Each structure stands twice: as structure tokens, then as C-alpha cells.
């Protein structure tokens, strides 16, 4: 087993490896594969979804084994800000569900940052920690 691990380590020397874009390619591929199982009556839809899933896996393997790390890191740097908005959307909605009884969420009118305020009835003056803007909200 040690001999195999040494050979594999030597093979992977100088290869790009795993990153965020690679993880997203695998996740989308798995999701497409699972969703395609629900299209029993539509053979072509199922077939096309599975072809796309396989293509994404092939792209992942080619990126993973690439010997051009500069190009792969540029691709990953383009991908990160593009996916950041989606990740932030799901995180914020998860927090809203989790804190639904104890807190309220408001947008700062100045910088549009999301602010969390304790759910206490009455009139509140809210100060944004990001831009320093103050505004009033009434919780009923």
C-alpha cells in the first residue's frame, strides 16, 4: 500500500488538485444525476441530464489533473464572486428561519447591509455598524 501511495504522490506532483469550482462541478453533477431519476416518462430529458452530469465530471477530472495551475486558479477566481451571492442568499435565509422568533432582519437604507435586531416590541433606533447610518423601525 505504501508503494502505491508514493507512486500516486509522485504522479500528483505539480497537478492542480481540488478547489471550490471543482466541488461545485461535482455537486451539480450529483444533483443532476439524482434529479434525472425522477423523469421516468421523458427519456430524452433524462438522457440529456445524465450526459451533462457526465460532462461536468469529465471537466472536473481534467481540471483536477491539470498541470497549468495558473489557468485553473484564474478560473476559480472568476467563479468565487459569481457563486458568493448565491451562498450569501441561502445563508441569510437559513438565519432568518433559525432566528424567526427572537430577531428581525432589516436592510440599512444607506448601504443595503442586512441588520439583525432583537424582536422587542416598540420603536427602535437602529445604527448600521458598516456605514454608521441611523434609522428608526417600529416592531409590533
Give pLDDT tens digits for 21-57.
Answer: 999 999 999 999 999 888 777 888 888 999 999 999 9
Query: What is the enclosing helix (H) or strand (E) of 122?
Result: strand 122-127
Angle at the Cα of 25 from the Cα atoms of 23 and 28, rounded to 5 degrees: 105
- The mean pLDDT value of the chain amounts to 90
Q: Give me the percent of the chain exceeding a pLDDT of 70.
A: 100
| Residue 127 near residue 134, CB atoms below 8 Å | yes
Give pLDDT tens digits for 94-125.
Answer: 988 998 889 988 888 888 888 888 888 889 88
| Residue 25 near residue 60, CB atoms below 8 Å | yes
So where are the chain's domains?
Answer: 2-98, 102-140
pLDDT at 71 over 80: yes
pLDDT for 64 equals 93
**Dihedral sign for Cα atoms in the order 95, 98, 99, 101:** positive
Overall pTM surpassing 0.75 (yes/no): no
Strand partners, 106: 115
Cell 441588520 locates to 115
pLDDT for 114 equals 87
Give pLDDT tens digits for 7-24.
Answer: 988 988 888 989 999 999
Q: Are strands 103-107 and 122-127 parallel, antiparallel or unpaired?
A: unpaired
pLDDT for 80 equals 93
Q: Is 49 exposed, middle or buried (0-12, 13-18, 19+ CB in 10 A)?
A: buried
Cα separation, 137 vs 116, whole angstroms: 12
Cell of 130: 458598516
Amino acid at each position: 500500500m505504501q508503494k502505491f501511495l508514493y507512486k500516486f504522490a509522485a504522479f500528483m506532483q505539480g497537478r492542480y488538485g481540488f478547489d471550490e469550482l471543482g466541488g461545485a462541478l461535482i455537486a451539480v453533477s450529483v444533483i443532476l444525476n439524482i434529479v434525472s431519476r425522477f423523469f421516468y416518462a421523458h427519456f430524452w430529458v433524462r438522457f440529456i441530464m445524465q450526459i451533462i452530469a457526465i460532462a461536468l465530471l469529465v471537466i472536473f477530472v481534467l481540471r483536477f489533473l491539470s498541470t497549468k495551475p495558473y489557468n485553473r486558479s484564474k478560473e476559480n477566481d472568476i467563479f468565487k464572486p459569481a457563486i458568493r451571492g448565491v451562498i450569501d442568499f441561502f445563508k441569510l435565509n437559513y438565519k432568518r428561519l433559525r432566528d424567526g422568533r427572537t430577531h428581525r432582519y432589516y436592510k440599512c437604507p444607506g448601504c443595503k447591509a442586512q441588520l439583525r435586531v432583537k424582536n422587542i416590541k416598540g420603536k427602535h433606533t437602529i445604527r448600521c455598524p458598516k456605514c454608521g447610518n441611523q434609522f428608526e423601525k417600529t416592531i409590533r
